[in-house]
Structure 1
Amino acid sequence: MRLWILILTAIVLSIISLFIGAIDIKPSDLLDLNSDKTQVFLISRVPRLMAIILAGAGLSIAGLIMQSLSRNKFVSPTTAGTLDAARLGIMISMLCFTNATFIQQVIFSFAFALLGTIVFMQILDRIKFKDAIFVPLIGIMYGNILSSITVFFGYEADILQNITSWLMGSFTLIIAGRYELLYVAIPAIIIAYLYANKFTVAGMGEDFAKNLGLSYRFVLNLGLIIVAVITTTVVLTVGVIPFLGLIVPNIVSLYMGDNLRKTIPHTMALGVVFLLTCDIIGRVVVHPYEIPVNVTVAVIGSVIFLILLFRGRAYAKK
């Protein structure tokens, strides 16, 4: 699939997204800059679209980096415990610091997301049986352990309802002033593109990378930091969005290969298209109400994930 087709599709879906909602807004309504509909458009619709674009591109790139560094196509923030670790960090900040500021929550979430991802990578290093399907299952179990810890302490401290709110990935409450943290993902994506070739080499193994003179540990840690930064910004702004970082890089690799310098633009564009599609479906099915985007992504993503899973098993048998 050509990049310009994905970009054109993203533009068309973006325009559709801007004019879908409980309040009917037409392009002609925007001619009056002081009208209520124009204010809704600028304060709610445009920030929501920007949040979708940044979250879709960011999580897709995070999944691409994780799959390259772990050398496993089924590893992503969803199946490596990164999202669960970030949520655990939020719970710790709420539990230990009752008056925690937003910046403190960002720091705790980032630290736990990074630590949780490093722990998962260390687990992979110690596993002898690194089957393509077995590794993500371990990651899912690891993520469920972190999630169980979060729920247990949240229940004991009577803050479970607040914790649950971080589970619900949704763009419903996104307005101007509540999504700007996602812009942090932009420099992270730029760094990922600049180091794309090094990530590709690092994905070939530590010995191979060192033979080529690459600082393997530096590149590995940089990749994990990028993943943690993107995951933290999305979780704190939108919530947990599953499967996005898993299926989008896999789809792109089917027709583009594994060269990150070539696949990053396609991965970003397809991630935006996929998340926009899921968001539009959630807003249209029960209009004027809407289904949280994490539900539509989970339903569609789980079907694609099963297809990829059985496809991987078929190749393993061959």
Structure 2
Amino acid sequence: MHRRALPFPPVERTGASDRRAKVRLLIVGIVLTIILAIISLFIGVSDVSLATLLSSSPQDRPMQVLVMSRIPRTLAILLAGSSLAIAGLVMQIIVRNRFVEPSTAGTTESATLGFLVVTLLAPGWPLMAKMLVSAVFALGGTALFLRILRFVPLREVLLVPLVGIMLGGVIGAITSFFAYRFNLLPSLLAWNMGDFSSVLRGRYELLWFGLAGTIMAYIAADRFTVAGMGQDFTTNLGLNYKRVMTLGLIIVSIVSAVVLVSVGSIPFLGLIVPNVVSLMVGDNMRRTVPWVAVLGATFVLLCDIVGRLIRFPYEIPISVVVGVVGSALFLYLLLRKRHNA
């Protein structure tokens, strides 16, 4: 008995199997993040271990350190890492350049200037109000960056971050001048130095706004992907290009402001993580947002653990560790881009 020939060839299932493999890899990343978060809870000068926690009451020092310091610090690391990585992804799609993120577009420097202004003019304002003012300045600085790009012949892809670094340098110089004039240089240094050692319960909750920005980015992921194709293409599909761009700028500005106000500046994070995810998953933002969030949180968490262990019991600020690792990865991406070109 002969087998009847199929009316069409069998469907290749490599795409489905590849998606399943990527989902499994994402689950592995989430599990790794959870393991690192648990490890982070038990690293520090104070004796906080599973044995001391089980043998102590809620009023004893180990439990108080865990609840007041270790858990808020770990949550702050996860929220800051994931939200900053997503902000970098959104900015790269808006600008259509892989080497742009808040610290290479003048956004972080503008947020710092706004925080300095509100500290000088209204020092008694609550932290939420200072964050909003900082976000407004960050939005204005990012919009100025995009405006300058319209008048620059961008024949080289590296000219875009170069313009952003120059703009950030000018804004940073203005900020440093006024900080020096009003004896706030130590405060300015503290704002620019990313550090999780001072995070306590009641001083990190603004970072939940970063999670809200991450959720907004995921909801509008398809719109951002279309907007990354250009204004004409976006308009032809019936989307309001300016509205999508404004939403992206708002997300980037709020995330940059809340991270700066809460823990300081963390360089290169929004540049490195989206590029690494793009090499593994592709450029579809709907698929890459979970990857970027997980990898950003994992990367910052790992760098924070390394910074706490290298000179234990002393601690290296997270901005230093991320800056060293991020700069090396940035050079690798630059050299890889030129080699492929």
Do both proteins adopt the same fold according to a TM-score greater than 0.5, normalized to the shorter chain?
yes
- Kindly indicate whether residue 50 of structure 2 is the aligned counterpart of residue 20 of structure 1: no
DSSP 3-state at the match of 1:171: coil
Partner Cα distance (1:162, 1:255) in 2: 40
Partner Cα distance (1:285, 1:158) in 2: 33
Q: Deviations over 1:170-205 (max 9, x none)?
A: 000001000001011122111110100000000010
Partner Cα distance (1:230, 1:129) in 2: 27
Give matches, 1:1-318, under 5 Å: 2-31=25-54, 32=56, 33-316=58-341
Partner Cα distance (1:98, 1:264) in 2: 37
Asked if the contact 1:132/1:312 (under 8 Å) is kept, the reply is: no
The CA RMSD over aligned residues, in Å, is: 1.1
Partner Cα distance (1:100, 1:152) in 2: 23
Partner Cα distance (1:70, 1:78) in 2: 14
Which residue identity does 2:190 align to in structure 1? S
Partner Cα distance (1:130, 1:30) in 2: 60
Asked if the contact 2:93/2:228 (under 8 Å) is kept, the reply is: yes
Which residue identity does 2:132 align to in structure 1? I
Partner Cα distance (2:172, 2:338) in 1: 28
DSSP 3-state at the match of 2:101: coil
In structure 1, stretches of 5+ residues that fail to align are none
CA offset at residue 98 of structure 1?
4.1
Query: Residue 208 and residue 277 in structure 1: after superposition, are their counterparts in 2 closer, same or farther (change >3 A)?
Result: same
CA offset at residue 121 of structure 1?
1.2
TM-score (normalizing by structure 1): 0.97
Asked if the contact 1:88/1:112 (under 8 Å) is kept, the reply is: yes
Identity %: 47
Query: Residue 130 and residue 43 in structure 1: after superposition, are their counterparts in 2 closer, same or farther (change >3 A)?
Result: farther
Q: Deviations over 1:22-75 (max 9, x none)?
A: 112111222233321011011100000000000000000000000011110000
DSSP 3-state at the match of 1:242: coil
Larger Rg: 2
Q: Deviations over 1:204-247 (max 9, x none)?
A: 10011001111100000000000001111100000000000010
Query: Residue 287 and residue 23 in structure 1: after superposition, are their counterparts in 2 closer, same or farther (change >3 A)?
Result: same
Asked if the contact 1:166/1:240 (under 8 Å) is kept, the reply is: yes
DSSP 3-state at the match of 2:192: coil
Asked if the contact 1:279/1:293 (under 8 Å) is kept, the reply is: yes
CA offset at residue 130 of structure 1?
4.2
DSSP 3-state at the match of 1:123: helix
Asked if the contact 2:128/2:206 (under 8 Å) is kept, the reply is: no
Partner Cα distance (2:123, 2:298) in 1: 39
Partner Cα distance (2:274, 2:190) in 1: 28
CA offset at residue 107 of structure 1?
2.1
The runs of at least 4 consecutive aligned structure 1 residues that moved more than 4 Å come to none
Asked if the contact 2:231/2:241 (under 8 Å) is kept, the reply is: yes
Which residue identity does 1:58 align to in structure 2? S
Deviates more, 1:246-255 or 1:155-164: 155-164
CA offset at residue 163 of structure 1?
1.5
Partner Cα distance (2:337, 2:209) in 1: 34
Asked if the contact 1:248/1:270 (under 8 Å) is kept, the reply is: yes
Which residue identity does 1:7 align to in structure 2? I
TM-score (normalizing by structure 2): 0.90
